[in-house]
Structure 1
């Protein structure tokens, strides 16, 4: 047995060998049905054959982690607008059944990424997978590996980002009503996160929503003003907590 697979004579363990993978937690918001969705793919090989999982890939020789994440996005979804950031690294022992308890083989490290895309613009790519689908966060199947843990970590990140960053405008159209914005927040954070009137008043006082002067009528209600997000006006508030809620 090789030295790296045995305990050294001086009492120290050999260094582990790793295979590095990237797993993407890809969220979207279906504003028509008020659903927060996550993209899942069905595995067509062991381990966890025919289980749903997060879209993932092993990092190729000479490929950066970020490029691997973007490659996996491009292989599974086509979208004009998306937000992507590194989420967390999951590397606990035995997180992958391919790690053999007897032989101390390669460890499987997952560097996860968190993405947000516009639902109306997103086109799923089924090439190379036996299944791909948007799943509501309220109706998740059993997931392969530790992907349920990775997904919940991503969900917490999404909720936190909504509180202090303009991430919501990554998935809203360029022009939107305050009702559209409030609906997105309630879909992700829940109905009780804030009263609409307080939400509206707070955001308008902050000054980074610009009234276009155009109104839109939906249903039997009164015409609603269309707004545009002003990134320059938001800049002084960047990274300050609880800007939006």
Structure 2
């Protein structure tokens, strides 16, 4: 019989985790004013034949970021991209392969989000029966909790545009302010800011460098080409900025 002061401890078994990486890969189609997300069709159970985010289980000796880059390299070819870790999803019922027993394997998803330009990204269809860009507003029911992961990534992307230079990671080295504005409107919607105010705000921040070159598009007068000046931005990196 337990002595006085002895407490009965309820010890639960430690979970056995497998870790996966799921990528929310956005592309900006400025020609048709669409924000797209890359989906692949699952080739295995569970959710065989259902659309999902591109993902993988992390291999032995592989870092999480290396796993995210591997998935990117297996699905698209692109020169300019932005990649950032998003969030860890680990609810006990997010994967049907998990056993209801406390001794069952648990599946974590460490998610990343990436941003690329649609016209630059070439899809790689090797080894998959389905891979496609889906407009963000037309995404079907996805496998696992991938709709939740996608929504979280979409919120993060919109927030990042407001306070960080993420857009410049996917633009060409030189660009017009109209190119930049079009990227913002594709993601945030056409009513997020007036072009004149947007232009004045970005130029005032002081990290866009005028190259002195101009480009002609259509019948309008030539537009100036700018370059993102990372050195000029460095002192502002940790300050609360509002880009728009």
User: Where does structure 2 lack aligned partners over 5 or more consecutive residues?
Assistant: 1-7
Match in the other structure for 1:56: 55
The corresponding residue for 1:232 is 231
Ranges in structure 1 where 5+ consecutive residues have no aligned partner: 1-8
SS for the counterpart of 1:159 is: helix
Aligned-residue Cα RMSD (Å) equals 1.5
Q: CA offset at residue 51 of structure 1?
A: 0.9
Taking the TM superposition and a 5 Å limit, the aligned residue runs for 1:93-242 are: 93-101=92-100, 104-242=103-241
How far apart are 1:26 and its partner, in Å? 0.8
1:109 Cα deviation (Å)? 0.4
How far residue 103 of structure 1 moved from its aligned partner, in angstroms, is 6.9
- Residues 164, 238 of structure 1: 8 Å contact kept: no
Matched, 1:75 2:74: yes
CA contact (8 A) 2:213 2:224 kept: yes
Alignment match, 1:6:
none
Could you tell me whether the CA contact under 8 Å between 1:118 and 1:170 is conserved in 2?
A: no
**TM-score normalised to structure 1 length:** 0.92
CA distance in 1, matches of 2:94, 2:103: 13
Normalising by structure 2, what TM-score? 0.92
Give 1:104 shift: 4.7
| Secondary structure at the counterpart of residue 11 of structure 2 | coil
Secondary structure of the residue that 1:120 maps to in structure 2? coil
- SS of the residue aligned with 1:215? strand
Superposition misfits of 4+ residues, deviation over 4 angstroms: none
**Which residue does 1:5 correspond to in 2?**
none
Aligned positions, number: 237
Instruction: State the shift of 1:12 in Å.
Output: 2.1
